[in-house]
Amino acid sequence: MGFFRAIGRFFARLFGLGEGALNNAGDKMLTANESTIRAQFRKVREDLLKNHTTVRNAVANLMAINEEKKNETEELNKKLKELETKKIGAVRKFKETNDVKYQDLFKEFSVQLQKATESISLNKTFIEQNSSNIEKYKSQLVMLQTRIEELKSQEAQAVADITSSRQITKLNELLSGLSTDVNMQGLEAIDEARKKALANAKLSTELSQTSKSAIDDELLAAGSDIDEEFAKMLAAEEQKMTANTEERNI
């Protein structure tokens, strides 16, 4: 029965073939173009179809073997009836003739009858198990056929998804680049120029105010000296006039 286990293992590998091949190619597909993606799906589909054909032929052979065993069992059943009849005939002939050869024939028919019965039992067990496996393999073949058909729509969906995702990624990168590399740099330059302009204006105002204050202080200082001199001269003149008046009065 190792043959059935071998087929079972083969089916396990077979059903994992498509999914595993596509998963292994997943990373490559992310950067592949449409023709590469379709080529990968086509390769997986061709491998599955090839293995589907191999397994289908193996299942067909199992069905043929089953039919052979059924036909063999039918022939053995006919032989059983003949042997039973011959055994009865050998007993009757021995009773009539008392010839030992009929006794020997009876023994030979009994051995053949036992072997035929064992063969029928083995065939029955084989047919039952084989029929069960055949139905299981047929169901798996239908599932595999469905999987192959699904690859067509999966291929179209994968191409659409990867292509659109790649486009979205490019658009996001473009928008991200525009917002940081272009717009923000422009705004930062404008903001820097504004700060410099404000600083220059503030410095100019401060310098202007400092210069004007210095001139005003200088003029005020100069004006203060003249007033002081004028007051001194006025006082001197008043003293002279007072002295002259006193002299005349004397």
pLDDT tens, 190-234? 667 667 777 777 766 666 665 556 656 665 565 555 566 666 777
- E-state strands within 80-232: none
pLDDT of residue 180: 47
pLDDT of residue 182: 47
- Residues, the chain, total? 250
Provide the angle, in degrees to the nearest 10, between the axes of the packed helices 2-24 and 100-177. Answer: 10
Instruction: For 82-100, give one letter per residue: b (16+ CB within 10 A) or e.
Output: ebeebbeebeebbeeeeee
User: What residues in the chain have per-residue pLDDT under 70?
Assistant: 1-32, 163-191, 193-194, 203-231, 244, 246-250
Task: Give domain 2-191's CATH number out of 1.10.287, 1.10.3470, 1.20.140, 3.20.20.
Answer: 1.10.287
Q: Under a CB-based contact definition with an 8 Å cutoff, are residues 159 and 37 in contact?
A: yes
pLDDT of residue 4: 47
Residue whose pair of structure tokens reads 């204006």 in the numeric block: 201
pLDDT of residue 122: 95
pLDDT of residue 161: 72
pTM: 0.49
pLDDT of residue 71: 95
Reading the block at residue 243, the tokens are: 């002295």
